[in-house]
């Protein structure tokens, strides 16, 4: 299918290549033109240097896929796109937007007859490039229309239509809350090992845990990688930033009166980490770098 992709950051750029490799025609747009030139020159993907050119180069039922950071930029973009789109066109938000914003935006676009789709995208940069995990909020009809695309860019069984518009970002928010808690537990476990007085090889421990243990998995594989790259984590400062999803999960838990001490505490630990360096903080910062390319502060 022909897709207009907006946003050539780490995730958007790799999703464009993934779509292209699976036979879709991508027209790429980015606010700064250097990325458009790069994808044109290095990958042979056609670029559009304005939103008008982008929408103009799509035919029939237009599909636009935004891969830009959550926040007010999305609203600005939506307002710029509305006059360029017609009834029945589809606008996808593949970023980590707050689901409340998504519900509001879906209503706004419904008034214009434009279908809004939220795609909670997981698997980091590697997933975007080679097979992502997508949690999709859309009407039944729009999901069926887009299904061939999700089938192509996701891992097998790595996409699900979880409900109406807004629910994809809701599920992704909870996913990230869980991610905070899991990483925190890993960080704490390794900090206890570090303080134990034994001379453990953390890479070896992560590796053995990845072979048949209950706590094996991608985060543990990345833990191994973090220690392979820096066995004592001396180059990493234990400052763990957060871009919102953990906070929103905690807000939702408070609203629903669901006790969520693990996720809440991992969020608070991140805030504390901005004031005080710890070994677990270093590891979690390293893990965020491994899966999401999020920068680490150097010690
Ligand atoms: O599932 C994923 O692939 C990640 O969760 C991804 O979406 C991103 O790396 C997080 O948004 C980081 O979230 P924090 O900045 O809140 O740690």
Q: What is the pLDDT of residue 87?
A: 97
Residues 192 and 233 in one domain: yes
Is residue 220 domain-resident? yes
Residues 161 and 184 in one domain: no
Is ligand 1 within 6 A of the CB of residue 249? no
Do 153 and 8 belong together in one domain? yes
CATH code of the domain covering residue 256: 1.10.1040.10
Q: How far is the CA of 180 from the centre of ligand 1 (A)?
A: 9
Which CATH number covers residue 92? 3.40.50.720
Decide if 74 is inside a domain. yes
In a domain, 299, yes or no: no
**Which domain covers residue 271, as residue numbers?**
172-292
Whether 245 and 115 map to the same domain: the answer is: no
In testing the pocket of ligand 1, which one of 9, 68, 292 has its CB within 8 Å of the most ligand atoms?
A: 292
Distances (CA, A) of 237 to 221, 246, 255, 281, 283: 21, 21, 34, 8, 9
Could you report the predicted ipTM of this complex, rounded to two decimals? 0.97
What is the tally of helices (H) and strands (E) in the chain?
13, 8
Q: Which of 136, 165, 194 is the last residue of a domain?
A: 165
Please list the pLDDT of the chain residue by residue as tens digits (299 residues): 999 999 999 999 999 999 999 999 999 999 999 999 999 999 999 999 999 999 999 999 999 999 999 999 999 999 999 999 999 999 999 999 999 999 999 999 999 999 999 999 999 999 999 999 999 999 999 999 999 999 999 999 999 999 999 999 999 999 999 999 999 999 999 999 999 999 999 999 999 999 999 999 999 999 999 999 999 999 999 999 999 999 999 999 999 999 999 999 999 999 999 998 999 999 999 999 999 999 999 98
Are both 117 and 24 inside the same structural domain?
yes
Q: What are the tokens at 2?
A: 């022909």
Q: Ligand 1: which atom is nearest the Cα of residue 127? A: 3
In short, whether 179's Cβ falls inside 6 Å of ligand 1 is yes
Vertex 138, ends 253 and 170: CA angle to 5°? 15
Q: Which of 114, 132, 165 is the last residue of a domain?
A: 165
What local confidence, expressed as pLDDT, does residue 24 receive?
98
Note the pLDDT of residue 211: 98
Domain count, the chain: 2
**Distance separating alpha carbons of residues 155 and 134, to the nearest angstrom:** 9
Claim to verify: residue 266 and residue 221 sit in the same structural domain: yes
Q: Using the atom order of ligand 1, give the atom closest to the CA of residue 176.
A: 5
Burial state string for 92-107 with b = 16 or more CB within 10 A and e = fewer than 16: bbbbbbbbebbbebbe
Q: What confidence score (pLDDT) does residue 230 get?
A: 98
Whether residue 37 is found in the same domain as residue 156: yes
For residue 298, tell me if it sits in a domain: no
Give the list of residues 6+ apart from residue 204 with CB closer than 8 angstroms, or none: none
């Amino acid at each position: 299918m022909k897709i207009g992709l907006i946003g050539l950051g780490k995730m958007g750029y790799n999703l464009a290549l993934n779509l292209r490799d699976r036979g879709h025609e991508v027209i790429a747009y980015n606010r700064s033109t250097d990325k458009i030139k790069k994808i044109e020159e290095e990958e042979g993907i056609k670029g559009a240097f304005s939103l008008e050119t982008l929408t103009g180069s799509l035919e029939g039922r237009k599909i636009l896929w935004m891969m830009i950071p959550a926040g007010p930029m999305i609203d600005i973009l939506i307002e710029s796109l509305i006059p360029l789109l017609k009834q029945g066109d589809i606008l996808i938000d593949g970023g980590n937007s707050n689901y409340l914003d998504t519900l509001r935006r879906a209503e706004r676009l419904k008034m214009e007859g434009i279908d809004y789709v939220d795609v909670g995208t997981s698997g980091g940069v590697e997933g975007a490039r080679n097979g992502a995990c997508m949690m999709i909020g859309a009407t039944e009809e729009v999901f069926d229309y887009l299904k061939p695309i999700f089938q192509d860019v996701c891992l097998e069984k790595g996409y699900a239509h979880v409900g109406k518009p807004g629910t994809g970002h809701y599920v992704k928010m909870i996913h990230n809350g869980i991610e905070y808690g899991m990483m925190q537990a890993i960080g704490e476990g390794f900090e206890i090992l570090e303080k134990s007085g034994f001379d453990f090889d953390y890479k070896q421990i992560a590796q053995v845990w990845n072979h048949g243990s209950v706590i094996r998995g991608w985060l543990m594989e990345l833990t191994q990688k973090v220690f392979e790259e820096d066995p004592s984590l001396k180059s990493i400062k234990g400052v763990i930033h957060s871009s919102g999803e953990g906070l929103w999960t905690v807000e939702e838990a408070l609203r629903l009166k669901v006790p969520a001490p693990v996720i809440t505490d991992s969020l608070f630990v991140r805030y504390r980490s901005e004031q005080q360096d710890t070994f677990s903080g270093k590891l979690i910062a390293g893990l965020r770098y491994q899966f999401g390319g999020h920068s680490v502060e150097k010690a």
